[in-house]
Structure 1
């Protein structure tokens, strides 16, 4: 299946990704057990950071992301996909546009909008069933915003935290761009420039923006 192949971005034959999944190869774990364990590791061991935007191709390689302390939703999804493929679990990138209702003021300050795009999540085929999961928000961040962290049980979709613990709107999906076999870098860059043109106006030679 093509969703198992290594690519430039999903470079799961690299040492960092082999180390990431080594624990889950041990014993006789099921696909579900491996997927749940890896999902939780990627969710919590890399802090969510939506404010770093890169246009550099190499920054979207799973092996490079593995060496960072944090990542945005697309980067963390790439890392999880590479790990899942390394474990023999078909996985692909799913992109869309979302609206964040709780961190709206800071997002508007940085991006000029409370809409985040492209937002990344993961589709994985576990025991013959395609499931959605989003490893973006680490547990520590969820506790800060009084939102239950997204748990993945290997049997059901887990990609949307619609409300916080008090019933206030948190995340809302606005557009679905579909799924991709590999990282569609040109599409993502064009999407960023279309939605946040002011970010790129100040210095056209910069390839990494830390807002």
Structure 2
């Protein structure tokens, strides 16, 4: 391992991979016994499909809390993904962005959508594989939820909404095969740069919600959004 990559294996308060539930998960899955490609694929598939798409109480949750919740979105699933990768010896980093809230229309509806900020904090994870950094984003939407969108919009090509922003909804680049995967990248508005950990990212940037807006999201908005996501998933 090159010395300059050690920073991208570090445990942090959010990447709390020494937490017992995370250690137990890794041991039970046997990921450390796999080669590097298979390790990334198994962890990627776990975060994508066994941690369902949904909205947590806030972005800056530790990985162990996301695992306990059993669901997440780009930022929270990304934190869990990074913790599992680092615990299994795969260097990774975070690339931050903002996305247009139009990407969430359909998952967000009514007053929840109207109250959402125009730009929403977003991130993807970059893994060091084969000597280069590879962008992984498509772990956000679980396979069943994405399949429901594809059935709902069978003739869609370029698509933006319901948590997806892709050039071709029927053939998105979502499977790990050694190259980048994307599911929201077509909705990016601003590039916020690369960070060695989510802790650093949230110290520099935080979703612009406070006071009444934060209370509404945590106690009303996200519950409505999660109920809507479950309805969409069931239709598949």
Q: Same fold (TM over 0.5)?
A: yes
1:53–1:210 Cα contact (<8 Å) kept: no
Report what 1:5 is aligned to: 10
1:151 aligns with 2:140: no
> Is residue 2:131 matched to residue 1:128?
yes
Distance 1:108 1:188, change over 3 A: farther
Match of 1:139 in 2: 143
Out of 203, 214, 230, the residue aligned to residue 186 of structure 1 is 203
How far 1:107 sits from its partner (Å)? Answer: 3.1
Do the aligned partners of residues 209 and 128 (structure 1) sit closer, same or farther apart at CA in structure 2, a change above 3 Å counting?
Answer: farther
CA RMSD of aligned residues (A): 2.8
The answer on whether the counterparts of 1:108 and 1:114 sit within 8 Å (CA) in structure 2 is no
TM-score for both structures, normalised by structure 1: 0.77
Gaps of 5+ in 2: 1-5, 151-168, 222-236
Contact 2:105 2:113 in 1 (8 A): no
How many residue pairs get aligned? The number is: 190
Higher strand share: 1
Which residue is equivalent to 1:98? 99
Matched with 2:31 is 25
Q: Which has the higher helix share?
A: 2
Provide the secondary structure at the position in 1 that maps to 2:84.
helix
**Superposition map of 1:1-211 within 5 A:** 1-22=6-27, 23-25=29-31, 27=33, 29-50=34-55, 52-54=56-58, 60-99=61-100, 103-107=104-108, 109=110, 110-112=112-114, 117-134=120-137, 135-146=139-150, 147=169, 148=171, 150-153=174-177, 155-160=178-183, 171-183=186-198, 184-189=201-206, 192-193=207-208, 200-202=210-212, 208-211=218-221
TM-score under structure 2 length normalisation: 0.70
CA distance 1:120–1:53, change in 2 (3 Å)? farther
Per the TM alignment, residue 73 of structure 1 is displaced from its structure 2 partner at its CA by: 1.1
Cα offset, 1:208, TM superposition: 3.9
